[in-house]
Amino acid sequence: MEPIAHTYFGWLRFTHDSDCRRPQWEVDYRLDDSTLRLPKGHSCPELDCTHHDYYDRLEVRLICRSCTRAFKITGEEHSWAGTNTGVLGYGQAPKKAAGLWLYPGEPLIQELDAEPYEYLVSAKHTEDLQHEDVIGTIRRARTNRGKWFFEASTHPVLHAEHRTQPFLWNTRSTGQLGTTTAAAKWIAARQQQQEGTDS
């Protein structure tokens, strides 16, 4: 399971021309497991090398037939996984609780209909969540006896250069919160307290 920051941040989007009338990507890929490496020969640390002078190549092609913009990505030694947005942890609609928006990450167990392990919390609904939109996080935790509950954090300090943990949290819940809604209410209350202090 990847950190939730990997799910939402650091990804770049392919852009269309500014005057594109129907921006839509057509995506195709090609796998070739017998591409000859040139110049012939390679140095392989594996004593029982099976690929010799060949390697696996992946090519991904994106084109827009409207603005004719095109991209081609090539790579080797790739990994491949076909899944859905619930398992990927990205692409699902955020859910609303206590007036806040909860953006789900990956589930703890990679199964269909499994609950997300962690949520990023924002005060606004957006299709392009940014670091500065995040006001808190909700994640699952377990007691010493194995009972699941939720813990919440808020008042982030941005630490964006750290790829896996871009946030440091000034305030964390101390009790065991039974639901994501309870955790969202806890964050909302701390936000209101902060706004009252700042005003």
Percent of the chain's residues with pLDDT above 70: 81
0.85 cut: is pTM over it? no
CB atoms within 10 A of CB 165: 11
Residue 142 lies in a domain: yes
Q: Say how far apart CA 196 and CA 185 lie, in whole Å.
A: 16
Does residue 57 share a domain with residue 103?
Answer: no
Q: Tell whether 44 and 110 lie within a shared domain.
A: no
Q: What is the pLDDT of residue 153?
A: 93
Give the mean model confidence (pLDDT) for residues 113-125.
90
Are 68 and 51 contained in the same domain? yes
Q: Average pLDDT over the chain, rounded to whole?
A: 84
Cβ neighbours of residue 4 under 8 Å, at least 6 residues apart? Answer: 89, 105, 106, 118, 119, 120, 137
- Is there a single domain that holds both residue 144 and residue 55? no
